Structure 1
Amino acid sequence: MTSPFLETDTTTGSTPRRRGLAGVALAAVLIGPGAAVLSSEPAAAASPSPVTPSPSPATPPPSPAVSSESAVNDTICNRYCDGRDPALAADDRVAVTAPLSGRTLQLHLSDSGPMGWAAIENTQPGDEVWLDRSFDGGATWDSGSRLGATTAPEGVGAWRTLMYNNDDWADRGVGALRACGRAVDTGAIACTEWARTRWNASNRAEAAATAMMALYDTANGTFRGAGWWGSAVALSGVIRNIEVTEMASYEYAVSTTYDQNVGERRGHFRNEFSDDTGWWAMAWLDAYDLTGERRYLVTARRAADHMHTFRTPACGGGIRWKEGEPYKAAISNALYVQVNAAVANRTGDAAYADRAVAGWSWIRNSGLVGADGLVRDGVGADCTAGGTIHTYNQGVLMSGLVELSRATGDGNLLQRARELADAATRPGSYLTDDDGIVHDPAEGWDDCSDDGAYFKAAFARGLDELGDEVAGDPYADYLSRQADSAYTTSRNAFDQYSLSWSEWTKPQGPGCQASALALMNAAH
């Protein structure tokens, strides 16, 4: 069979794959002496920063013989089938470790396999060791399988499981593994952080995309926990990752998302929110650019037409954020410029360019862009501009002005976009700290599943698109600084990111991952 995971190898094993019942989420947590405790919530990561791989043991521990004890409920076959002897691994990387009552748990990964196994060092007879495997970013796993569960016998100082696959290529399951164990004398149970092989993750941009796709639900064509418009931002990130890395492993998400959702809500990804419609329009314009399939352009055009119905003469023009609401959000109007200009550039229809010109004229005259060069949140019923300054309002308008410059040939629009970018990226500005790292105000109150977590995705994209359009790419160093900081300080062993790009601040989730993915794409 042909695998959708194409980076290194395009074939899987021919052995039939057996899948068992999906499990219930149970997390093993390290406790003190006494009976083991199982929590109904996943255990917190031991360390959110990258884990330096530990050296492999000088003398590898023996592997258990294949027996009923090490049999599993779910058998997956990719390049190799579950239950392979680690002695056959072509490479061995200790990705993460965890302490357990004087022992050390290790998660070993064979990146070329791509498979992993659990090991326990300083073991006592009767200690248990096993693997957990997750296909939803570590949120749940099959608690009934305890992959390769085995008990250390007498006379060994270390013990390990057999090898198990990281991913499930046939079912497009992007997975992660962790090593778990139970100390026989204390009853304590511990697990390492989740981690995965470097398959489809050979650089930080690919790794960010793979961790994003670990949250993708092929059954409904959206990203778990991302919400409606957040899934559009995440999909755009995956599409643009294919373009910048040339790794096509996840292109299936484009057609799957479209086919599963094109008839939802009001059809063609339209609903009562003009900004939601705009985010999806940009996702399908990205999809059209990648694939050339006209159905995506048709949907984007219908979305642009739907956004136009939100326009009212109140406050001199502009489009409403939501049907029936007077508020005219900056994000809705910036997306209106971006979407209409992008449609004009791809269809040659001057009517869409005219809409984009009118949209920019309204933004320019509305007071949304303050004396500091930064875009406010919106215009209220009293026609006064104000509200919090967010990163995405700057980024989408930069992208919109780039598209509009292409549509009209007006180079002055790029200068206006640069003024926005310079105001936002200057060290010590409202959005960039003295160390040169960008922060969105939403970092102070949102988490990785809320709207604010997605805001920096548009900011990174806007700077990237503007930099590509002007001589010398003046924002490349800024984007590289953000990417280096995020990769070093706010990433865990699974290449999942937190809300801040200067420290680990909030649990990982779809919004933080979508923003980090956009950043890694821009800096690649």
Structure 2
Amino acid sequence: MKPARSRAALFGAALTTLSSLLLGAVPAVAAPEAAVCNKYCDARDPALSPQDRIPVTAAVDSRTIALHFDDTDAMGWGSIDNGAAGDHVWLDRSMDGGRTWTSGSKLGDTAVPSGGRGWRTQMYNVDDWNTQGVGALRACGQPAGGGAIACTPWARTTWNAGSRSTAAATALMMSYDRGTKLFGGNGWWTAANALTAVIDNIRITGMGSYRYAIADTYEKNINAQGGQFRNEYLDDTGWWGLAWIAAYDLTGESRYLDTARADADHMFANWNGTCGGGVRWNTGGNYKNAITNELFLGLTAALHNRIPGDTVYLDRAKNEWDWFRRSGMINGDRMINDGLDGNCANNGQPTWTYNQGVILGALTELHRATGDQTLLTTARFLADASTVRLQTDGVLREPGEGDGCTGDGPSFKGAYVRGLGTLDRALSDHPYAAPLTRWADAAHDRDRNALDQYGPHWNGGGATDYGCQQSALDLLNAATG
């Protein structure tokens, strides 16, 4: 596992007060927010709403602050009740999942009129569809005369959230940086995994609202790093290659297949004789690890299955599997360790979840290419072992799983369940549907906030951020089909 490329953790979307979270970070005098217009423009009268759903509330000094939604029109408003004249209520709007809201703070700020005990803001749009802004709202209030401010958790309407997986996809898209066109701002291989999860969700659910991310990511980053989504880390290149295979399958656009070929060729150029073969982990050394070679196997088999008359990529896939199964990285427990040591023996490093999952998808692709039934038999042996050995308290758990969602590790479980789901669909008895469903149910019931954001532990607890969100979306995709 390469060193983590961490990023800032996502602010919690819990009930907050001025004293506890120093909401002075919100400007005392907010800059005017440009009106957002979708079906209707901002500042619409709530009396015109055809419905009123209250997903979250907060309290301060006996006042109740509520966030209201008009799901039909994807708008929301805030209210404060059981208060007094001069109490203030407003909305905050965030376009990055609640991380920041400076440009969307204190929308509709208004005060309870004289003689009243409650009041409400006007309605504001949750999303800015004109700028690809996937948004969230929260309602905030402050008693007259100043003092503590309380805000509800962040939430959004049911727009683009008609199922558990589309809701998770929408929450993941809140982490899609509209500047860099990468998830998390500057994530690289993790962004490839997040994009793959979104593409899979489009394929499975038919909800194409975020299809734009495919072309946007490609066009913005095609010349980044080594070009064609290649760099010195060959596993990074493999993740992107598989993302573009998924993009090609969904769109039929040849440019994505061409880039996947360029990625596979770059990986093959780094196959050498150390330890008898295999693709090295990076261009600056000769470490042979599992994930790089599993990705190479899956990518070359997938290319063969999509290029009429191909023999080159099929030969490379067969040679890869022949080397990998003899390499020693598959241990006596049918689990795959991280890689090989200086003596070309199993290095005994952790059996990361992604090492157990990517191989399942790769062997399924190679079976499709060759018709060799033993490949599915082997994949099943490996899956039988990992679904038991990696399960704790009824859910999948990463070795050494932490409470955070930054860095590389939080994306691993997503890659595992993606591969397990691919294998399960290829087997007539679907033996892994039950654990996938069980894990998905647990995550949805215990590891999800009001914004449909997920944490690292599918039994609950920990932070939220796009790595954990991608893994949860992969899980919900796999459990759906």
Same fold (TM over 0.5): yes
Which residue among 441, 448, 453 is the counterpart of 2:399? 441
> Any conservation in 2 of the 1:180–1:190 contact (CA below 8 Å)?
yes
Shift of the 165–442 alpha-carbon distance from structure 1 to 2, 3 Å rule, reads farther
1:21 corresponding residue in structure 2 = none
SS across alignment from 2:37: coil
What pairs with 1:103-502 in structure 2 (closer than 5 Å)?
A: 103-142=63-102, 145-184=105-144, 187-225=147-185, 227-348=187-308, 349-385=310-346, 386-426=348-388, 429=389, 431-433=390-392, 435-444=393-402, 447-502=404-459
> Any conservation in 1 of the 2:16–2:152 contact (CA below 8 Å)?
no
1:12 corresponding residue in structure 2 = none
Shift of the 175–123 alpha-carbon distance from structure 1 to 2, 3 Å rule, reads same
1:351 CA drift (Å) = 1.2
Shift of the 229–32 alpha-carbon distance from structure 1 to 2, 3 Å rule, reads closer
> Any conservation in 1 of the 2:201–2:477 contact (CA below 8 Å)?
yes
Shift of the 84–344 alpha-carbon distance from structure 1 to 2, 3 Å rule, reads same
> Any conservation in 2 of the 1:425–1:436 contact (CA below 8 Å)?
no
2:468 corresponding residue in structure 1 = 512
| Residue identity in the other structure for 1:421 | A
1:101 CA drift (Å) = 1.7
Shift of the 414–186 alpha-carbon distance from structure 1 to 2, 3 Å rule, reads same
CA offsets, 1:452-483, max 9 Å, x none? Answer: 00001111111110011011211111111111
| Residue identity in the other structure for 2:366 | L
1:100 CA drift (Å) = 1.2
SS across alignment from 2:64: strand
1:101 corresponding residue in structure 2 = 61
2:3 corresponding residue in structure 1 = none
SS across alignment from 2:77: strand
> Any conservation in 2 of the 1:437–1:502 contact (CA below 8 Å)?
yes
> Any conservation in 2 of the 1:318–1:362 contact (CA below 8 Å)?
yes
Higher mean C-alpha deviation, range 150-159 or range 471-480? 150-159
Q: Structure 1: where are the runs of 5+ without partners?
A: 1-24, 43-68
1:402 CA drift (Å) = 0.3
> Any conservation in 2 of the 1:70–1:148 contact (CA below 8 Å)?
no
SS across alignment from 1:222: coil
SS across alignment from 1:355: helix
SS across alignment from 2:306: helix
> Any conservation in 1 of the 2:177–2:185 contact (CA below 8 Å)?
no
Q: What is the distance in 1 between the residues matched to 2:116 and 2:266?
A: 69
Q: What is the distance in 2 between the residues matched to 1:420 and 1:266?
A: 35
| Residue identity in the other structure for 2:68 | H
Size of the aligned set, in residue pairs, is 465
| Residue identity in the other structure for 1:362 | W
1:72 CA drift (Å) = 5.2
Q: What is the distance in 2 between the residues matched to 1:163 and 1:83?
A: 5
Q: Structure 2: where are the runs of 5+ without partners?
A: 1-10
1:367 CA drift (Å) = 1.1
Q: What is the distance in 2 between the residues matched to 1:245 and 1:187?
A: 47
| Residue identity in the other structure for 1:84 | R
> Any conservation in 2 of the 1:72–1:146 contact (CA below 8 Å)?
no
1:30 corresponding residue in structure 2 = 17
CA offsets, 1:105-129, max 9 Å, x none? Answer: 1111111111000111211111110
Q: What is the distance in 1 between the residues matched to 2:30 and 2:108?
A: 4
Q: What is the distance in 1 between the residues matched to 2:189 and 2:436?
A: 24
| Residue identity in the other structure for 2:23 | L
1:220 CA drift (Å) = 2.0
Shift of the 212–125 alpha-carbon distance from structure 1 to 2, 3 Å rule, reads same
> Any conservation in 2 of the 1:391–1:456 contact (CA below 8 Å)?
yes
Structure 1 ranges of 4+ moved more than 4 A:
69-72
What RMSD, in angstroms, separates the aligned Cα atoms of the two structures?
A: 2.1
